[in-house]
Every structure is written in structure tokens, then in C-alpha cells.
Structure 1
Amino acid sequence: MPTPRPAAFALAALLCLTVAGCAEPGSRSGADGRQTDAAGKAPPAARGAYPVTLENCGLKQRFDKAPDRVVVMNGASVAEVSALIALGQEDRIVSNQQSYGMSEVPGRADRIRELPTGGVKPNDVIDIPREAMIGLRPDFVLSTTSYGFDAKNGFATREQLQEIGANSYISPEGCGQDNLNMTIDDSYTLLRDMGKVFGVEDRAEKLVTRERQHIAAVAEKVGAAKRPKVMVVFSHMTMGNNDFSAVAAHGIYNDILAKAGGSNAFASASKTSFADLSKEEVAATEVDALVVVSYNDPDPTGYAKKLLKEFPQWPAAGKNTFVVLSDSMYLGPSNDLAVEKIARMLHPEAF
């Protein structure tokens, strides 16, 4: 049973990829929209206009070329590694610490598992310690939040990375300690920033455009239908002291629900991203539908069914209304998949 770090870091709304972009002549599109040639290998990335300057969480950095020794820190997310895969840049990764176990995107979980780890032994907070990071000789390090560059936790700071010639990046809304204001637009920012850094801005923009169009098409189908109250809960996650401490209250989850024609049943239960609720508080709330977000859970469907049985008074229990999702509920290039799957659950008549 995974017990993540502080909510802002452990479940930073985070990950993943949209459907394939338009293929160039002589190429085919694989999982994550990555274009490959007839032999199944990715063509060289288009060179951007370097140098590139990117300001990120108050730090202005210059890139004279696309990074080629990239390290992706854990963060209990796959947002960053999925964005790199979506943009065809995974061959530049020398160490990836992100994994999720499952994905709405066919083949993505396997592709992530196949990435090198650099032989890193994670520290007590399940990420790359300072010495190991320096030993990887990175030129670009990505972290879900500022937590990944906090010296108090044994990590290399952004300043220390600069000293060895490495730039660094904190994903959108990750500069602070909570990501309650995160929206799907932040997923687009992540893609666009990585497109700029790696010289593939056109590919990033195609992914953003396709995802926007997909979400708009779903919203049009749903229209002005009544918005059911939805509980978004992370299966078997412990983030507080109560029985239900991993219930989403704010952040990208609410934006996804809104675009799918739903509303968060627990939006008023907390002023932070997650609500820490007792069983009695959960029982007293009307829940029309259930979204279970799975993080390396071998049986998330079983968890959903058990929850519906535990609260038979919910309208969701009477109609067995639930869906299991994973990385599409996080920051990343596949939020459109979550929007459609939730919309189909809430408004099947529209499809």
C-alpha cells in the first residue's frame, strides 16, 4: 500500500499523453503520438532556434542545445516522463524514477518501465539523493515540485545543479506547497515548455491542439446537462489521519470533472488539494458517481466495488456508477482521455 509524501508532491496533479498527432510523410504514429519511421525508430528531432531562455519558478535558465542527459525525479507522478515520451525525447533520458503501473494510453506503462534508471538507489523519501544525482552527470533535471530540489531532504538544489552545468525544471504549479489551482492548461504549459527546451515546439503545439479539440468535442456532447456530484479518491492511499485522506477536493481534478459535465462532491470539504475525511463525513455526502484513481494498485476495480458496498445510500451505489482511471487524471498530456471516460460514465446518453 503506497503511502506518498506530502500531498502537494506525492499526488501533484500530474500526467500524460494525448492521442497521436498528425504524421509526417513516410512516418507512422505510435503510442503517445510519437512518430516513427518504417523501421520503428524515431526520426531526429527538429532543431529549435537556440539559445533558448526559460524562466521557471523564479529561475531564468539558458539552453544552448537540446539536453541529452536528462534525469526525471519521482514525485509519485508520470507527468514529466510522459511529456518527454509524447514529444519523442525519451532516448535522452539517462535516469527515470517515475512509474505508475498502468495508463489510459496503450503501451505507455511498458515504455516507462523500459527506460533506464541509471542504477540509482532511492533515498528514504523514494527519490534520487544528492550524491547519486551528481554522479549521473545530468544536463537537465525535472521534478514535479520544488520538493525535489530541497536540500533538507538530501536532494541536490537547483543551484548545485547549475554548478555542474545542469538546468532544472519544476512542473507548473509545483513551485509552492500545494497545487490546488492547477488546471488542464498547466498540462499544456508543461508540453509547450518541453517543446521549447527540446526544439520540438511544433510537435508540442500539435499535441495541445488535438487535446483541446478532443475536450471541446466532449463538452459539446454533454452540453448543459445536469452535473452529477462525483467523488475522486485515490485507492489505498494514505495522506492524513482519517479513514479517507486521499479524496480530491481541488486542483486539476475539478477542471477535468467540469469539462466532463460533473462536479466535485467534496469541493467544500477542504481548502487544500485533498480532503482528510472521516467515514462519517463521507457517508453524509451525496455521491452520484465515483472515480477511483489507481496508483500501482493491483485491483482498483475491487476497491471501487468495496467502496460502493460500504456506502449503499449513495446514488452511485444504487446505479453502480464508477470508473477507474490512472495517469490521465494528473498533470500531463492525456487529460482529454479522463474527460471523455468520465463524461461517458456521467452522461452515457450523450454518446
Structure 2
Amino acid sequence: MKVKRTVPAVIGALCLAATACTTATTSAESGGADRPGFPVTIENCGKEYTFTEPPSRVVVMNGGSVAEVSALLELGLGDRIVANAQSYGASEVPDRVDAIAALPTGDIELNEQMDIPREAMVGLAPDFVISTYDGGFRAEAGFATRDDLARIGANTYAPASACGEVGTVSGRPSIEDSYRMLRDFGKIFGVGERAEEVIAESERRISAVTDQVGDLPEQKAMVIVPGMAMGGEFSSVGGNGIWNDILTKAGAVNTFDGATDNLFADLSKEQVAKADVDALIVVNYQAPDSDADARALFDQFPQWDAAKNDRYVVLSDSIYLGPSNHLAVERIAEAVHPDAF
């Protein structure tokens, strides 16, 4: 299955882990070319990339995500970043927003896509460039290509779930995609042990939730980003995204799973009105008042069980690819199965 990857300024994206963020590596986890375990080779989007030492001049492109920069921070790699274009403005992880805001930007004038153009990218002299999707390396969009960057000594990376055709992701997104990115970064930067610790804690917390709700009736949930209009009034309803796996682990199911192969469904008011919605998942995208957004939807659709029971939860980066998916699982489970917690 090919899933259309929408790249609005929001998913600002496309994002952390079990502990508070840190931007410092330990002396045991930093090192150079003589460090055991290097060189390492990874496969990414059909090509192999060899790292003779951990990258030290990392550039993180925007692409509508905070997954990649959040993963680096969670692994203690913030000091490797020389320019970061990702931001979102909200996070379930304490201090994550401030940690991202404190990263260097490289004093780059971003293009109209709010990303780093080719000339500016080359001028940063990176040794590793991370894009949130493979389209971040398209020449026709004004970006430095993977070949351009290879010529100046920079390896490149996009999450495996965002390889393939421009504007698509392959397969059905899941939390395993977040774990794969963490493992890739762990290998690339020589912090594999830290990556496994982050993943293990996330898995432990998710398992604790599934143990609590596993025997309870599945609740039907609707995922919506009220501030992200891409078409009609209900053009930003969660379709085929990582949230479906998150919902399943929280004891719920996406009401509109199957309504589209795309990341978001574009629905009519009539379709939304007829849907069974036991709980509402409001995704905060630059929203002045997400609680007010939930109440407005409840006023519009009072027939929903979610409206009758005032059952909703506001999330931000944890609902997307990234190292904080366990936080979304926990908060959704508490909202849809309040008597179990």
C-alpha cells in the first residue's frame, strides 16, 4: 500500500521517549574515528551509507516534522546539530519545546517551503543531513540532492517509512517505524545502547497500558487537526497514519481507518455526523485553545458519545512518528477507558 504523505507546515509531523530531553552526550558515548564499532554502514532508501565516525555537523531539515530532531535530543545528540529547521511549538515531553528552540538554526533564510535551500545547505558544510521524507532531497524543489551532499562529504537520511515515491510513504505506519529511526540513529552515532534503553522503556510503558485495556471493549476514536485546513472543513481527519497503531495499543480504533489510503481523510460534514465517535483526539497545531476546538466539535455533533460524555484528549508531537509514542498511548487509553486507570 502506498500512503500519501502530506507535508503541511504542521506536522511540524510529522515525533519522544521516556525521559526528559538532554543535549549532552556522555564521554562513553562520544568519540572519533578510532572508536570501536566504526566504520558502520546503514541502508537508507535503497542506498548504503558508510560512517567512519559519528557525525559532528548535523543539519536537520523541516519537511513538516519534529520527529527527527526530537529523536536526536532524546539520544543526547543535540550538540552535534549545527542547523535545525524543525519546530512545532507544543510537546508532551517536558522541556522539549524549549530544547528545540535553543538549537542553532545556522542563520539560514528558509525558502517558501520553510526549509533549507540548496546553496544554504552546501554552505553549512554538514557531514550528515536528515530530511523528514525523501522529497527533501529533490533538485526540482530547490534542495540539495543526496548526490550533491555526497560530493561535499555528507551522508543523508530519511526515515525508512518515508522512502520511495515523492509524496508517499510505504506500508502501514506503526510505532515500529519510530523505533527503527531510533535504532538507525543509535548505530550512526555510536549510541546504540542508549537507543535500546529508550525503546525498551517505551515498550514497557505501552505494554503496561495494553495489559490494562486488553480485555475491554474497543472504543471508536476520531483524530483531527482543527487548525490545519487542507481542503474542506474536515480535510484534516486522521486516516492512515501511525495513530492507528497508537490507538490500537490504547484500546481504541480509528473511526475513519479505511476511509482513505492517505495520511488524512477529506470528509463531508454528513460523513462525520454519521460516524460513531466514542472519543475525540484533538491534535494541537498552533492552536490558541485546543479545548475550545473540542467543545466546538461537540456542539456541532452532540449525537456523538464523545460529546455526551465529554471524552477527548489533546495531543501534539506524540501522535506522530518520533520517540514519544508511548505518551500518546497512555493519554488516549486514559481518555477512552477512564475506569481502567
SS, match of residue 210 in structure 1: helix
Match of 2:7 in 1: 9
Of the structure 1 ranges 273-282 and 135-144, higher mean CA displacement relative to structure 2 is found in 273-282
Count of equivalent residues: 328
> Where does 1:178-217 land on structure 2 (aligned, <5 Å)?
178-179=168-169, 181-217=172-208
SS, match of residue 82 in structure 1: helix
SS, match of residue 66 in structure 1: coil
Identity between Structure 1 and Structure 2 (%): 52
Post-superposition CA distance 1:15-69 (Å, at most 9, x none):
1x2113xxxxxxxxxx13x4x9xxxx65332445100101100111110001011
Instruction: Indicate yes or no: 2:217 matched with 1:254.
Output: no
Match of 1:28 in 2: none
Match of 1:114 in 2: 102
Of the structure 1 ranges 93-102 and 179-188, higher mean CA displacement relative to structure 2 is found in 179-188
The structural deviation recorded for 1:8 is 3.3
Match of 1:43 in 2: 26
**Alignment partner for residue 335 of structure 1, among 313, 322, 325?**
325
- Distance of 1:256 and 1:58 partners within structure 2: 28
- The answer to whether the Cα contact below 8 Å between 2:91 and 2:317 also exists between their aligned partners in 1 is yes
**Alignment partner for residue 296 of structure 1, among 286, 289, 302?**
286
- Distance of 1:192 and 1:268 partners within structure 2: 30
**Alignment partner for residue 129 of structure 2, among 141, 146, 149?**
141
- Distance of 2:14 and 2:5 partners within structure 1: 12
Which amino acid counterpart does residue 58 of structure 1 have in structure 2?
G
Which amino acid counterpart does residue 217 of structure 1 have in structure 2?
A
- Distance of 1:114 and 1:313 partners within structure 2: 45
Post-superposition CA distance 1:279-336 (Å, at most 9, x none):
2221121211100111222222211111111111111111111000000011111100
Moved runs in structure 1, 4+ residues, more than 4 A? none
Instruction: Indicate yes or no: 2:221 matched with 1:230.
Output: yes
Which amino acid counterpart does residue 64 of structure 2 have in structure 1?
A
Unmatched 5+ residue regions in structure 2? none
Which amino acid counterpart does residue 347 of structure 1 have in structure 2?
H
**Alignment partner for residue 269 of structure 2, among 252, 276, 279?**
279
The structural deviation recorded for 1:7 is 4.1
**Alignment partner for residue 56 of structure 1, among 26, 39, 44?**
44
Which amino acid counterpart does residue 248 of structure 1 have in structure 2?
G
Kindly report the root-mean-square deviation, in angstroms, between the aligned alpha carbons of the 2 structures.
Answer: 1.6
Q: 1:253 to 1:232 in 2, by over 3 A?
A: same
- The answer to whether the Cα contact below 8 Å between 1:219 and 1:261 also exists between their aligned partners in 2 is yes
- The answer to whether the Cα contact below 8 Å between 2:25 and 2:77 also exists between their aligned partners in 1 is no
Q: TM-score, normalised by structure 1?
A: 0.90
Post-superposition CA distance 1:85-130 (Å, at most 9, x none):
0110000101001111011010001000000100111111111000
SS, match of residue 246 in structure 1: strand
**Alignment partner for residue 158 of structure 1, among 146, 167, 170?**
146
Instruction: Indicate yes or no: 2:112 matched with 1:124.
Output: yes
The structural deviation recorded for 1:12 is 8.9
Post-superposition CA distance 1:160-216 (Å, at most 9, x none):
100110000011211133336110001000000000000000000011111111100
- Distance of 2:296 and 2:272 partners within structure 1: 14
- The answer to whether the Cα contact below 8 Å between 1:294 and 1:324 also exists between their aligned partners in 2 is yes
Which amino acid counterpart does residue 221 of structure 2 have in structure 1?
V
Q: TM-score, normalised by structure 2?
A: 0.93
Instruction: Indicate yes or no: 2:258 matched with 1:268.
Output: yes
Which amino acid counterpart does residue 117 of structure 2 have in structure 1?
P
